[in-house]
Amino acid sequence: MKEKTSAPATTDAIEGNASCDSPAAPGKSSDAMTTGRSHPWQELKEEEAGAGVVEMTTTRSGSRSGSDCVAMVSRDTKDDIPIEMDPVIARPTGSQPASPVPLGAGAASERTEAGHGGAAETGTASGTEYKVYKRRWFGLLQLTLLNIIVSWDWLTFSPVASDAAAYFNTDETTVNWLSTAFMFSFSFITPVVIYVLHLGPKPSIITASALLLAGNWIRFAGSHSSSGGLFGVVMFGQILTGLAQPFVLAAPARYSDLWFTNRGRVAATALTSLANPFGAALGQLIVPFWVNQPSDISHAVLYVSIISSVCALPSFFIPAAPPTPAAPSGETPKLSLRASARVLVSQLEFWLLFVPFAVYVGLFNSTSSLLNQILLPYGYSDEEAGIAGALLIVVGLVSAAVTSPIIDRTKSYLTTVRLAVPLVGLCYLVFVWMPGTRPAAGVAGPYVVMAVLGAASFSLLPVAVEYLVELTHPVSPAVTSTLAWSGGQLLGGVFIVISGALRAGDDAEPPGNMRNALIFAAVLALVAVPLGLCLGLFGRKEKLQLRRVRSDEEKRGREEAGK
């Protein structure tokens, strides 16, 4: 059953609230109790209380009369588009305010384990308790580990491309397709990821873990002996690990929306999202130590497979959802996937942020993948190129660790975007000349630019992911985050292919340099800058409201007024 209402073509008028007009008490209204499907925390509470959840399209009115209720969204006088929301699931209410349902012994103990900012907030008008639980850190840690290992899988062969080419009896260009196919796999499975992640973060995490387990051991089967390997089998396993990546890379925003309040979502998203490039750094640094000759490739794949298995298996034991919602926005009705697509297509602010994010993620992926090939023609050693890549990631992680908690408290999303976007574009422009500075300045030029680029990129990344959710609420975070990451991964693969085609020939000075590829990256980075700077300009400042934050504040205000 679907209930249809009308909403404007943009989400600025969408509140995501539901109202009930009671015949017995005209003029009184109340919010819809939950979204269209039964929330996991409701199921836990009902199971432990020995009562089932009753599916209906009614909820409480001001007089608790059980009058009909339809999920509504506010609208203005603009042209309307139909918005579909799932049918409301509610419990029948009596003549008195509902008292909290007992949580059972296990859940009751959780009342005392809220972490920072985790004091219980109970709306007596609805009987809903909002709090955060310590168990959220288990899922957050697991999601972080999966993002690390899936990125390590991506760069298992790239740091030792020459040895891998000899082992599989092929060339380095073919070996590069192992990482390129990995990124293209992301875009291929994006529709499935959106659907699975819409159901919740745990199904997405379990799917990723299963694909990682299968992919890694298939890769090992294809590189099983020291005398040579089967490249086709390895490619198949690599594609499976590539299919696993979007299920965990797009999950942080969905997970933080479910388990955290608006005081910790940016930091939670930053930790899990930035674990992905950290895994790439580990792959670049550790794999070369395992591979000293072509016959060592099989051992390296075996070690990565064992580490991947250890990281993936705990995924099957993480909790699916908190016993009670962490914040009101966690139970706000989300638009259906079809309605979300209609809204995003017509929302300018989404595109002004989505395009720079996708371009910069794509450029980051291609630059980090090709950094050795960019620097080596100018006389840099493998170790110096590796240090440059490490600075890009380590400085970025430190910067994100400092800025994310500050942005969580100040909600300065727009300021961060307007500062970071031009800085990222400038770094790609300056880097065009940095490889050639070695005779005069040594390694200082590339090191400094890589450090600044990492700081700006990593500070921007979690902010952009969360800002997309805020600007499009009540569109599900599963939709916005998956689309954003899919765009970045797709462009990353395309940029790697184009950069390889732009490599100079053996008659160039120096031979095989990638200056044209650096110019190509700089032009793209600078073209994306004005888009990010146009957010909120030209009379559109009201479009930049933090809708999810406002939803939390409004609902808590109504519940306080109802006490």
The CATH class of 337-562 is mainly alpha
pLDDT band (50, 70, 90) for residue 407: confident
pLDDT digits (tens, 9 = 90+) for 219-273: 999 887 656 778 889 999 999 999 998 888 878 777 877 777 767 677 777 777 7
Q: Buried b / exposed e across 258-296, counting CB within 10 Å, b at 16+? A: bbbbbbbbbbbbbbbbbbbbbbbbbbbbebbebbeebeb
Beta bridge partners of 20: 69
What is the spatial distance between Cα 287 and Cα 225, in angstroms, rounded to a whole number? 18
Dist CA 506 CA 159 (whole Å): 22
- Please determine, for residue 383, whether its predicted confidence score (pLDDT) is greater than 70: yes
Structural domain spans, the chain = 132-326, 337-562
Please tell me if the domain spanning 132-326 has the same topology as the one spanning 337-562.
Answer: yes
Q: pLDDT value at position 327?
A: 67
Alpha carbons 151 and 143: distance in angstroms, whole number:
12
For residues 31 and 69, is the Cβ–Cβ distance under 8 A? Answer: no
Report residue 201 as tokens: 């973060």
Q: Is the pLDDT of residue 510 over 70?
A: yes
Asked if residues 146 and 248 have their Cβ atoms less than 8 Å apart, the reply is: yes
Packing angle, helices 477-501 and 515-533, rounded to 10:
150
Task: Say if residue 58's pLDDT is above 70.
Answer: no
In this prediction, residue 520 carries a pLDDT of 95
Range scoring the smallest mean pLDDT among 84-98, 160-174, 360-374: 84-98
Reduced to 3 states (helix: H, G, I; strand: E, B; else coil), residue 70 is: strand
Of the candidates 479, 453, 451, the residue with the CA atom closest to the CA atom of residue 465: 479
Residue 552 has what pLDDT? 63
Q: Report the pLDDT value the prediction gives residue 448, as an integer from 0 to 100.
A: 94
Of 12-16, 420-424, 430-434, the poorest mean pLDDT is in 12-16
Q: Residue 69 has what pLDDT?
A: 38
Kindly state the average pLDDT of the residues 152-168: 84
Task: Please provide the CATH number assigned to the domain covering 132-326.
Answer: 1.20.1250.20
Copy the structure tokens of residue 8: 């404007």
pTM equals: 0.65
DSSP H or E stretch at residue 8? strand 3-8
The chain-wide mean pLDDT, for the chain, equals 74
Q: Return the pLDDT at 260.
A: 78
The closest alpha carbon to 459, from 354, 360, 351, belongs to 360
CB 392 within 8 A of CB 451: yes
290-323 pLDDT per residue, tens? 888 888 888 889 999 999 999 899 888 888 777 6
pLDDT top residue among 341 and 329: 341
pLDDT of amino acid 556: 62
- Reported as a pLDDT band with limits 50, 70 and 90, residue 77 is very low
